Chains A and B, each alone.
Chain A
Amino acid sequence: MPEENKNNEMKVVEDLTQSEYKWGFVTDIEEEEFPIGLNEEIIRKISAKKEEPEWMTEWRLKAFRYWKTMEEPHWGKVKFPKIDYQALRYFAAPKQKPQYESLDEVDPELLETFEKLGIPLEEQKVLAGVAVDAVFDSVSVATTFQETLAEKGIIFCPISEAIKNYPDLVKKYMGSVVPYTDNYYAALNSAVFSDGSFAYIPKGVRCPMELSTYFRINAINTGQFERTLIIADDDSYVSYLEGCTAPMRDENQLHAAVVELIALENAEIKYSTVQNWYPGDKDGKGGIYNLVTKRGACRGNNSKISWTQVETGSAVTWKYPGCILQGDNSVGEFYSVAVTNNHQQADTGTKMIHIGKNTKSTIISKGISAGKSDNSYRGLVKVTKNATGARNFSQCDSMLMGNQCGAHTFPYLEIDNDTAIVEHEATTSKVSEDQIFYLNQRGIATEDAVNMIVNGFCKEVFKELPMEFAVEAQKLLAISLEGSVG
């Protein structure tokens, strides 16, 4: 390859890996705050503040007492300074004042990003912290959605409301997939969770919309300890979108969310996540620690849970959305794209636990590391003794950009049944010079070529995203790689 060309390519890579998160933190907000620290009194206060019934308070306290006996897990391939849990503030209902009066005041680069992502104007305002003008009333939009959903009998509301209004459902299902004893962060979340979403799809109902549009506008500030519970009753279907391709401003460094999904007989849940939180600056200062527990239980026969995630943000990602395949013929899927740059660290993957007969799972994971980042896939496929006819296929591919980064794969296969068929494949490579050369020959600039190749690399996952999200995600990837490898 001509030297010039090579240099050019190197430069592109350098540019890419050095592109910065162009939107910083916004801290200037007025909050209703509790004192720093964590003790039973604080938990009682959180619970009281949310007007929770006694059983909820007790549950939180049990979780807290258990949490105190636990130790932080250190098995992940992520390093971050020790978190002082007594130095955090566990309740801060943000009373966020608009940062700007109109979009004209917002950083044009940020607007350009929104433009590229194709985010509607009104949503842009909310995301950028612009006062929403009176004509567009997000609450009323939300209400319209609520009405459509209510017609079908679908419950979709903040979890704090669900605790008050649907205590039976919450009592029955909360903690049934991720018990508070599950892990350190899940226990902490159970004790102090701020808010989150609750969805219940009744028998035989196909949710008519992606439960996201609403979410995106209204539930941005659910706080750092988010808790989500989705229940799909017999023969129902729901697709849920979490997060946003747009850059997320957030004030909290630690995020320890818990998501529980329950699919009953013949039900299907599709859960898609796009996460683009602040990853820290290019020297690795700051950034969000995203320590999340997500798990779905396919309780009923023929049920299906599908996780799709695009992870581009956060300084530290520690997240393993899993499926417990209890029902016969149930299906679990996991599709993931994780991009790390600069000093980001991601340790992500899935757990597929086959318990029922003829259960199937598919795992497709694509990791892209650039800069000085570390990107690991860690997953477990377990076939228990009675899971006759279990089938799993896993593919984990990693792509490296630059020689300062790391890409790792740690799959675990535990097979206890002789009728199981389990396959795992992993490859690691870099963007092929041949492919770039080929595209260059066709007159495509190196940057565009790399973009194309990376998009092709991730295609299997993107095609699983809901249509509009997929388009956004592709653009997001392009932006992440902008001025970088191409």
Chain B
Amino acid sequence: MASKTKNANAKSWYIDNFFDFQKKLNGQSGSFINESRIEAIDKLKNTDFPTLKDEEWKYTNITPILNHEFKSPLLTGNPEINAGLVKQSLYTGFDSHLLVFVNGIFSEEFSDLSGIPQGVTINSLNKLIETDPDLIKQYFEKVEYINTFNLVNTAFAYDGFVVIIPDNVILKKPVQILYLTGHKNETVLSAARNLIVAGENSQAKIITNYRPVYDNTYFSNFVTKVFAGDNSVIDIYKLQNESEKAYHIETTKIEQQQKSIVNHHSYSFGGKLVRNDINVKLNGEFIESHLYGLYLGNDNQHIDTHTFIDHAKPNCMSNELYKGILDDNSRGVFSGKILVEQEAQKTNAFQSNKSILLSDNAHADSKPQLEIYADDVKCSHGATVGNIDETAYFYIRSRGVPSNIAKSMLIRAFANDVLEPVNISALSETLSHQIFEHLHRAEI
């Protein structure tokens, strides 16, 4: 009963807030995107937030999110940030095009848009709505949602990043998008709608980096859509470093056309409660999708990853590898579904989820699923949960290696499968360092 009231309270909070939010929109209130905002808030009136009884939220209790009253930055005002914070928040060691957002709103001052090749769009959604609405309209027309948080996102998103690569263009430098979130006195809602479009034969690398402004409670709620055209190659690195008190929910929808390759890497370090949904539709033949993920939990962190791979056409390949390292009281949840439709013969689909528990109170849940309607396929999934390998540990210790170093070596080895495919070497090194930092363990 209590949760029902909370559900209703949270809903009315967002619905009531929406009117104030609308008043602040000024120029944007007449745009096509505002129609979808109004539609989303209408839908929210008839949609409840998920509970533990919903199969997709069985292991993740979202009540803590409903307990807070999160406000759009248009209502709270944005904090002042300085160049120092931006600098220390960035991933460095490689050249990149840079977009910076503060609480989901584009900050031109700190972004670096110089040297963008002819025809490539790397910009803020809000700006493009003013300058070139036709370019992006087709991608934002419908209100689509897989969960209630997506509706909150659609209703309150003011901005977001847009990367559009035209046909036959190979973008040399990666694009780094920095989301800085937080407010000194308010619990802020950072909602953004992001778009990545890769034309035929194009290639791009995109890094999304989530960092706090203040180490306090806020709510990052994102929706990212990715369209991979024929023969395109997209590498996406999602590097989540939110505050330890923050809530982070993102839904990523990827649609791939024939012969395209998408590599999605997801690293989850920060956040109190984190939920990532990654849905991939393989909508052509000879597609490759690779999904890698590493989630690290300490304290009371709760990290939930849901993937859904829809093999709609024949001759495609998908490969998922998600690994969790869970310490203290943390909990890691993985649910992955592979659907092979009847038409999708000659599909190869693999999925693996491995977790190690480093403490008595750590907890892992795994739900790998296969749903297969075609007969000429090779599909497999595997899931393991355990502690670090005792024989390996003993072997290293017997060579005179101290206990903490021996454990670190094994942790690093465990993470290696996920780190290996990272093909920006400076990034790979930083991530390796971050693993030890986050787990408070000796670095090797």
Which residues on A are within 8 Å of B, measured CB to CB? 75, 383, 398, 400-430
Contacting B365 at CB < 8 Å: which of A405, A412, A420, A426?
A412
Tell me how far the C-beta of A357 lies from the nearest C-beta in chain B, rounded to whole angstroms.
Answer: 14
> A426 touching B372 by the CB < 8 A rule?
no
Chain B residues near A415 (CB-CB < 8 A): 355, 357, 363-366, 385
> B382 touching A400 by the CB < 8 A rule?
no
> A424 touching B386 by the CB < 8 A rule?
no
- Which of A407, A409, A418, A423 has most chain B Cβ within 10 Å? A418
A-B pairs with beta carbons under 8 Å apart, 30 shown: A383-B385, A398-B370, A400-B372, A403-B345, A403-B374, A406-B373, A408-B371, A408-B372, A411-B367, A411-B383, A413-B364, A413-B366, A413-B383, A414-B363, A415-B357, A415-B365, A415-B385, A416-B363, A417-B360, A418-B360, A418-B362, A421-B387, A422-B383, A422-B384, A422-B385, A425-B381, A426-B368, A428-B372, A429-B378, A430-B375
Chain A residues near B382 (CB-CB < 8 A): 423-426
| Chief secondary structure at chain B's binding surface | strand
Which 9 A-B residue pairs are closest in the complex by CB-CB distance?
A: A418-B357, A400-B375, A413-B366, A421-B386, A424-B383, A428-B379, A415-B385, A427-B380, A409-B370
> B386 touching A422 by the CB < 8 A rule?
yes
> A426 touching B381 by the CB < 8 A rule?
yes
| Residues of B372-429 contacting chain A, CB below 8 A | 372-387
Chain B residues near A404 (CB-CB < 8 A): 342
> B376 touching A403 by the CB < 8 A rule?
yes
- The interface size bin for chain B is 35 or more
Query: A423–B364 Cα gap in the complex (Å)?
Result: 13
> A429 touching B383 by the CB < 8 A rule?
no
Q: Is B78 an interface residue (CB 8 A)?
A: no
- Which of A401, A404, A427 has most chain B Cβ within 10 Å? A427
Question: Closest residue of chain B to A409, judged by CB?
Answer: B370
Chain A residues near B370 (CB-CB < 8 A): 398, 407-409, 426, 428
Query: A4–B335 Cα gap in the complex (Å)?
Result: 44
| Residues of B313-364 contacting chain A, CB below 8 A | 342, 345, 355, 357-360, 362-364
Chain A residues near B374 (CB-CB < 8 A): 400, 403
| Chief secondary structure at chain A's binding surface | strand
- Which of B359, B364, B378 has most chain A Cβ within 10 Å? B364
Chain B residues near A400 (CB-CB < 8 A): 372, 374-375, 377
> A75 touching B55 by the CB < 8 A rule?
yes
Given A418-B359, A421-B386; A427-B379 close (CB under 8 Å)? yes
Which residues on B are within 8 Å of A, measured CB to CB? 55, 59, 342, 345, 355, 357-360, 362-387
Query: A403–B373 Cα gap in the complex (Å)?
Result: 7
Tell me how far the C-beta of A453 lies from the nearest C-beta in chain B, rounded to whole angstroms.
Answer: 14
Given A404-B342, A418-B358; A410-B369 close (CB under 8 Å)? yes
Beyond A400-B375, A424-B366, 12 additional pairs, beta carbon < 8 A: A412-B365, A412-B366, A414-B365, A416-B363, A417-B360, A420-B357, A420-B386, A421-B384, A422-B386, A423-B383, A426-B380, A430-B376
Given A403-B376, A429-B377; A421-B367 close (CB under 8 Å)? no
Query: A420–B386 Cα gap in the complex (Å)?
Result: 5
> A425 touching B386 by the CB < 8 A rule?
no
Query: A234–B238 Cα gap in the complex (Å)?
Result: 56
Query: A416–B386 Cα gap in the complex (Å)?
Result: 10
Question: Closest residue of chain A to B357, judged by CB?
Answer: A418
Query: A309–B349 Cα gap in the complex (Å)?
Result: 29
Chain A residues near B345 (CB-CB < 8 A): 403
Query: A27–B342 Cα gap in the complex (Å)?
Result: 39
Chain A residues near B371 (CB-CB < 8 A): 406, 408
Question: Closest residue of chain A to B342, judged by CB?
Answer: A403
> B372 touching A403 by the CB < 8 A rule?
no
Chain B residues near A401 (CB-CB < 8 A): 375
Tell me how far the C-beta of B95 lies from the nearest C-beta in chain A, rounded to whole angstroms.
Answer: 42
Tell me how far the C-beta of B357 lies from the nearest C-beta in chain A, rounded to whole angstroms.
Answer: 4
Query: A21–B366 Cα gap in the complex (Å)?
Result: 39
Question: Closest residue of chain B to A394, judged by CB?
Answer: B383
Chain B residues near A410 (CB-CB < 8 A): 367, 369
Question: Closest residue of chain A to B371, judged by CB?
Answer: A408
Given A402-B375, A418-B358, A428-B370; A409-B386 close (CB under 8 Å)? no
Given A415-B357, A430-B376; A409-B385 close (CB under 8 Å)? no
Tell me how far the C-beta of B123 lies from the nearest C-beta in chain A, rounded to whole angstroms.
Answer: 43
Chain A residues near B358 (CB-CB < 8 A): 418
> B373 touching A409 by the CB < 8 A rule?
no
> A403 touching B375 by the CB < 8 A rule?
yes
Query: A57–B370 Cα gap in the complex (Å)?
Result: 45
Question: Closest residue of chain A to B332, judged by CB?
Answer: A415
- Which of B59, B342, B345, B370 has most chain A Cβ within 10 Å? B370
Query: A421–B363 Cα gap in the complex (Å)?
Result: 13
Given A426-B381, A428-B380; A408-B360 close (CB under 8 Å)? no
Query: A268–B440 Cα gap in the complex (Å)?
Result: 46
Query: A181–B368 Cα gap in the complex (Å)?
Result: 29
> A412 touching B367 by the CB < 8 A rule?
yes
Tell me how far the C-beta of B318 lies from the nearest C-beta in chain A, rounded to whole angstroms.
Answer: 13
Chain B residues near A421 (CB-CB < 8 A): 384-387
Query: A412–B59 Cα gap in the complex (Å)?
Result: 11
> A409 touching B368 by the CB < 8 A rule?
yes
Question: Closest residue of chain A to B359, judged by CB?
Answer: A418
Tell me how far the C-beta of A123 lies from the nearest C-beta in chain B, rounded to whole angstroms.
Answer: 38
Chain A residues near B363 (CB-CB < 8 A): 414-416
Chain B residues near A430 (CB-CB < 8 A): 375-377
Chain A residues near B362 (CB-CB < 8 A): 418
Question: Closest residue of chain A to B388, judged by CB?
Answer: A418
Query: A75–B368 Cα gap in the complex (Å)?
Result: 16
Query: A169–B151 Cα gap in the complex (Å)?
Result: 57
Question: Closest residue of chain B to A413, judged by CB?
Answer: B366
Question: Closest residue of chain B to A377, judged by CB?
Answer: B370
> B384 touching A411 by the CB < 8 A rule?
no
Query: A426–B370 Cα gap in the complex (Å)?
Result: 9
Query: A55–B360 Cα gap in the complex (Å)?
Result: 45
Question: Closest residue of chain B to A422, judged by CB?
Answer: B385
